[in-house]
Amino acid sequence: EMANRERNKKILLELVKQPDNSRCADCGEPEPDWASYKLGIFVCLNCSGIHRSLSSHVKSIRLDFWEDKLVEFMKSNGNARAQAQYEKAVPPYYYRPQREDCNILREQWIRAKYERKEFTGETKYPPLPYTTGFYEGILLKKGKDNTQFLKRKFVLSEREFTLSYYNKEDSKGPKAVISIKDLNATFQPEKIGHPNGLQITYQDGDHTRNLYVYHERSEEIVTWYNAIRAARYAYLKTAYPTGSDEELLPMITRNYLKEGYMEKTGPMQTESFKRRWFILDSQNRKLLYFKGHLDAEELGAIFIGTESKGYSVKEWVPLNARGNKWKCGLMLETPERQFVFMCEQERDQREWLEVLRKVLSRPMSPQDYTSKQDFSVL
C-alpha cells in the first residue's frame, strides 16, 4: 500500500514536470500542485479552488492518495490534450486570465471552458454576445459627483465603434457616446469596492474620463469585458490593417502599471503639497492625476518621453515641505518643468521610481509623438 502510494506520487511528479503540464492549465502559474482527475489537467492552488466549487474532482498531487486508475487517467490526458479540446476555438480577443488577475476573470474563464463549453468549436446556439458585434444591458454605474451606483442602460456597437449609456430607460438620447478608439477597460475590484467592479477609461476632448461600473453577476460583467475587447479588436484591425495579432492583442485593453496616492506641489515647488491619486498608463506614456481614487475626471496629465528627450526621474528631498505629511520624495523632470511628488512609504517611492524608469527606457513610437501634441502639461 505505502509503496504503491509513493510510486503513484512519483509518477504524478514526473507528469507535472512535462512542459505542457508544468504550468497551470487555466492561469499559467508555474509548478501546479493540484490536479482535476475529472478533466485530467494540472492546476494551481487558486484554480483548484474554483474547480472544487464547480464540483470538479480535484486532489493535491503531493498530499492526497491517488488510486492507480486515476493516475492512468492523468497519464493519458494532461493539459495539452484538454486545451486542444476545451480551447479549440477561443476568439483571439477573448481575455485569457493570468495568475495575477482577479478571481472572477479566472472563475469565468474556467466556467466558460469546461462548464459552458464555449470554445470547443461546436456551440451553434446561443450566439455569444461578443461574436455579434452588438451588446446591450443594464450595469450599475457610479455617479459622476457622488458615490451612489445607479442602474444605467449601456449599448455597445461594433459597427459604430461606440459605447453609449442612457440615464433613463425612456430618455430621448444617450447621456454619453464614447468612442471605442481610445477606450480601455480594466477590473478594479478593490478600488470600486465590489468583486465585479470594472473601470472604463476614455478620452473626452482633451481630458481622460473614468466610468466605474459593476454587475451583480460575474458572468455578465466578464461578458461585457470581452464584448468591449471584441469591439476594440475590430477597431484596431481597421486602424492598423497590417498589424499582426501579436502586435494588436496587447493594445486591446491593459492594466495600468501602477496607481496610488502621492502628494504633489506646483511648478514653483513653493506651493503647498496636495494629495492626489495617480495612474501610470505605460501604453500612452501618461501619468494621470485625479483628486480622489474614484474621480470621474482627471485634473492633469504628464507626458513621459525618453531620457534622450530630456525626461528623467530620481529620488528627491524637497527644499520646501509646506503641507506635506509624507517624507519619501521623487522628482520627475520633463523639458517643460520639474514635478516633485511625495510618497507615504519607501516601498511606494521605490515602486514609482521603478515603473517610471520602465516607461522612460521604452523607445517612443510615432503615435507617442502625436499623443504628446494632443495635450498640454498642467
Q: What is the CATH number of domain 129-251?
A: 2.30.29.30
Per-residue confidence at 148, pLDDT binned at 50, 70, 90? very high
In contact, 265 and 271? CB cutoff 8 Å: yes
What pLDDT sits at residue 122? 83
Average pLDDT across the chain, whole number: 91
Q: Is pLDDT at 49 greater than 90 in this prediction? A: yes
Residue 192 has pLDDT above 80, yes or no: yes
Q: Check if 129-251 and 258-376 are the same fold.
A: yes
198 forms bridges with which residues in the sheet?
187, 213
Q: What is the reported pLDDT for 172?
A: 80
Q: Kind of pairing, strands 258-264 and 274-281?
A: antiparallel
User: Which pairing describes strands 184-187 and 286-290: parallel, antiparallel, or unpaired?
Assistant: unpaired
User: Above 70 in pLDDT, residue 241?
Assistant: yes
Whether 367 shows a pLDDT value over 50: the answer reads yes
What does the DSSP 8-state code read for residue 307? G
Q: Is the pLDDT of residue 220 over 70?
A: yes
Q: For residue 43, what pLDDT band results from cuts at 50, 70 and 90?
A: very high
pLDDT surpasses 80 at 186? yes
Per residue in 251-288, pLDDT (tens digit) is 999 999 999 999 998 888 888 889 999 999 998 899 99
| pTM assigned to the model | 0.91
pLDDT band at residue 293, thresholds of 50, 70 and 90?
very high
Whole-number pLDDT of residue 30: 97
Using alpha carbons, select from 111, 107, 120, 123 the residue that is nearest to residue 46.
107
Instruction: Answer whether residue 47 shows pLDDT above 50.
Output: yes
- Domain 1-115 sits in CATH at 1.10.220.150
Average pLDDT of the residues in 5-26: 95
Least trusted range by pLDDT, from 22-26, 29-33, 127-131, 164-168: 127-131
Helix (H, G, I), strand (E, B) or coil at 8: helix
Task: Report the relative pairing of strands 338-343 and 328-333 from DSSP bridges.
Answer: antiparallel
Q: For position 38, what pLDDT does the model report?
A: 94
Parse the chain into domains and list their residue ranges: 1-115, 129-251, 258-376
Answer whether residue 337 shows pLDDT above 70: yes
Residue 377's pLDDT band (boundaries 50, 70, 90)? very low
pLDDT at 259: 96
Topology of 258-376 in CATH?
PH-domain like (2.30.29)
pLDDT at 366: 73
Task: Please count the other Cβ atoms lying within 10 Å of the Cβ belonging to residue 272.
Answer: 12
Q: What is the pLDDT of residue 321?
A: 58
The SS3 assignment for 72 reads helix
Q: How many CB atoms lie within 10 A of CB 302?
A: 21
Q: Which residues pair with 365 in a beta bridge?
A: none
State what percent of residues in the chain have pLDDT above 70.
93
Q: Are 59 and 35 in contact (CB under 8 A)?
A: yes
Which tens digits make up the pLDDT trace of 69-127? 999 999 999 999 999 999 999 999 999 999 999 999 999 999 999 999 999 988 665 55
For residues 88 and 15, give the distance between their C-alpha atoms in angstroms, rounded to a whole number.
Answer: 23
| pLDDT above 70: residue 212 | yes
Confidence of residue 128 (pLDDT cuts 50, 70, 90): low
